[in-house]
Structure 1
Amino acid sequence: MRKTAIAVIAAAMTAVLATGCGGDPAGKDADGLTSVKVGIVPFTPNAVLFHAIEGGIFEKHGLKVSTVSAAAPTPIVAAMVSGQQQFGFVTTPVLLNVNAEGTAVKCVTPVDGQISKERDASALVASPKSGITDIKALTGRKVAVVQLSSINLIGAKKLAEEAGATNIEWVAIPFPQMPQALADGRVDGAVITSPYLETALAAGAKALAHPSSDLWPGGTIYCYGATDRYLKENPDVAKKFRDAMIEAIEFGKNNEAEIKKTLEKYLKLSPEEAQKQILPTNYLPELNVASIGDIQNVMEQQGAIKKKVNPEDVVWTPQG
């Protein structure tokens, strides 16, 4: 699980040494805005970021932000390490693992807030062809997750252990491919997120649990991060990015319909589909350090991390 991630990051480190990348290569444009690229895994919670772009919040803070899509967080980390992207989406397990392996990456801001206890955009579901109605029945079955070091895997494995399910075969499948894999019966279950979750449920998949909100309500299960090197070289840019995201998160609390409209453009959803999406957030723009430690404890129990790190060391705080 860790070897693939380590290999990807190691290759990125080689690129850094070869090119000398570290700061923001784009600099400022004609309008005096600092250009930055943000790596994302396209899914519903990015609506806050999309609104900050479309609504002019980043421009207000002196930034010109563009996004680059990836299938999972690990290649995003590699792109940040190589200097191709300045900020990027990272799940807490990936964040902890890359730091444990010596690549210093820190959370800069929440994606959309903390995970809501009442609503979750992701779920552990069973294929309509599997006949499975509870987690224990996943014993001996094949279950898809987006990446074999993801928050989805950590949470689903924890719930499976608590339910007494054993010998589950976990396989990596990108989110957009999961609905068809479930419908075809190529996998018996999946941990899938919006907008792909709604497609799977409409085709007959059965929701068994919501791992993230069931286990870590109010927690930080993912964030937008940056390398420690970039943060030390560009603290002003990082603060602008953080301040803009905080403003966008706080705006979203009372204007959810407006930020969902951005999903039409960025996720290619119809207006009706966009408004039906679940944003799994309490809209509190703080990183929950304690929850990062809780997730790390589960990872240690599962043998999913080589050594523990101090959760406070993986969260960036602006100075002054």
Structure 2
Amino acid sequence: MKRIWKIGFVLMASASSLASCQNLPSTSEEKTIKIGYLPITHAAPLYYAHAHPEELDDNEHVELVRFGSWIDLMDALNTGRIDGASVLIELAMKAHEKGIDLKAVALGHKDGNAVVVGDDIQKTEDLVGKTVAIPHTLSSHNILLDDMLQASNLAYEAVNVVELPPPEMPSALSEGRISGYIVAEPFGALGVHLNAGHVLYQSEELWPDSLCCALVLRQDFLETYPELAQKFITNYAKGGLALEEHSHYDVHMDYLNIDEDVLELSLEWISYDDLMIEEQDYELLRRRMLELGLSEDPPAYEDFIDTSYLEGRN
């Protein structure tokens, strides 16, 4: 059944902290959690949590901070300019490996990473010697590419891999500058909608239960505002369930700035109902990162993953 969602929210302004003239804590202190994101459908539970802050008190707020690239987002997260982010989990793992104290508390989604190729590509072998785009080397999309090639007994080097900003991928495919791409939604659906190419594989066909985007928070924020963190994550989890149970939201289309038909197709490929980061799925990701040389020492599950907030144990 097709699902039509209109996603987009007007950002709330962050509130300044209130303190007494003696700089003593106040029970009415304004508390704001700043969360970074890129405008993709993989971050939909975050949009819901921002638009439906039912769990929050009047003095508690969620501020979404939009970024144009993963590099800029990670710089803000690593330096503490934001408290958390919806981000490629591999980038957060790498930051943790380098000493940034982050915790991944929930997934952003499951599935929804299509391999989109030109009309002249009908099977993986047709990509040999051709150019395939991914958003970042440290991404599940890069691992999915390797999985696809391995399934056809091809080496990673059989194709020319390039990094491209996701919004450029559909036009690059249409213009023949690349022969295919693997990326977060809605850019796969956009390529199909524009007749730039077709889906060769969906991610679940190559890597069932693959991990991609995750909600990551700084440990210093979790320690300073544990109750606010719990309320926010509770709303976030409610968002995942609500997005699965309802087919339409009367919200602003300009949030993602895409055609409604593209969004409809995009959301047919994604699920949001189970946002728990399971240990076996994470351990498979760790192993693949080591095999591909994407990390020398990816963080252990118990050091990086904190499921207690989804379980309501904080």
TM-score, normalised with respect to structure 1: 0.79
Instruction: Find the counterpart in structure 1 of residue 202 from structure 2.
Output: 210
* Residue type at the aligned position of 1:302: L
Query: Of the candidates 260, 269, 273, which is equivalent to residue 283 of structure 1?
Result: 273
Query: Of the candidates 109, 134, 144, which is equivalent to residue 133 of structure 2?
Result: 144
Task: Provide the C-alpha distance between the structure 1 equivalents of 2:16 and 2:280, rounded to a whole number of angstroms.
Answer: 36
Identity score, percent: 18
Task: Provide the C-alpha distance between the structure 1 equivalents of 2:243 and 2:56, rounded to a whole number of angstroms.
Answer: 17
Instruction: Find the counterpart in structure 2 of residue 8 from structure 1.
Output: none
List aligned pairs for 1:258-269, cutoff 5 A: 258=249, 261-262=250-251, 264-269=253-258
Instruction: Find the counterpart in structure 2 of residue 302 from structure 1.
Output: 292
Query: Of the candidates 150, 159, 164, which is equivalent to residue 153 of structure 2?
Result: 164
Instruction: Find the counterpart in structure 2 of residue 18 from structure 1.
Output: none
Counterpart check, 1:191 vs 2:191: no
Task: Provide the C-alpha distance between the structure 2 equivalents of 1:61 and 1:313, rounded to a whole number of angstroms.
Answer: 33
* Residue type at the aligned position of 2:96: N
- Whether the 8 Å CA contact 1:142–1:188 is kept in 2: the answer is yes
Task: Name structure 1 gaps, 5 residues minimum.
Answer: 1-23
Instruction: Find the counterpart in structure 2 of residue 70 from structure 1.
Output: 67
Task: Provide the C-alpha distance between the structure 1 equivalents of 2:123 and 2:29, rounded to a whole number of angstroms.
Answer: 56
Task: Provide the C-alpha distance between the structure 2 equivalents of 1:271 and 1:234, rounded to a whole number of angstroms.
Answer: 38
- Whether the 8 Å CA contact 1:220–1:288 is kept in 2: the answer is no
Task: Name structure 2 gaps, 5 residues minimum.
Answer: 1-13, 20-27
Q: 3-state DSSP class of the match of 1:277? A: helix
Task: Provide the C-alpha distance between the structure 2 equivalents of 1:205 and 1:28, rounded to a whole number of angstroms.
Answer: 53
Instruction: Find the counterpart in structure 1 of residue 107 from structure 2.
Output: 110
CA separation of 1:60 and 1:195: change in aligned 2, threshold 3 A: farther
Task: Provide the C-alpha distance between the structure 2 equivalents of 1:218 and 1:60, rounded to a whole number of angstroms.
Answer: 35
* Residue type at the aligned position of 2:201: A
- After superposition, what is the alpha-carbon deviation per residue over 1:71-97, rounded to whole angstroms, capped at 9, x for unaligned? 443432321222211110222222222
Q: 3-state DSSP class of the match of 1:193? A: coil
Moved over 4 A (4+): 58-62, 270-273
CA separation of 1:188 and 1:216: change in aligned 2, threshold 3 A: closer
Question: How far did residue 262 of structure 1 move?
Answer: 3.7
Question: How far did residue 220 of structure 1 move?
Answer: 3.6
- After superposition, what is the alpha-carbon deviation per residue over 1:117-161, rounded to whole angstroms, capped at 9, x for unaligned? xxx432112134xx2211122222211111121111122122212
Question: How far did residue 180 of structure 1 move?
Answer: 0.7
Question: How far did residue 189 of structure 1 move?
Answer: 1.2
Question: How far did residue 58 of structure 1 move?
Answer: 5.9
List aligned pairs for 1:37-186, cutoff 5 A: 37-57=34-54, 59=56, 63-112=60-109, 115=110, 120-128=111-119, 131-166=120-155, 167=157, 168-186=159-177
Q: 3-state DSSP class of the match of 2:62? A: strand
TM-score, normalised with respect to structure 2: 0.80
- Calculate the aligned-residue CA RMSD, in Å: 2.7
Instruction: Find the counterpart in structure 2 of residue 15 from structure 1.
Output: none
- After superposition, what is the alpha-carbon deviation per residue over 1:284-303, rounded to whole angstroms, capped at 9, x for unaligned? 24222321111111111111
Instruction: Find the counterpart in structure 2 of residue 20 from structure 1.
Output: none
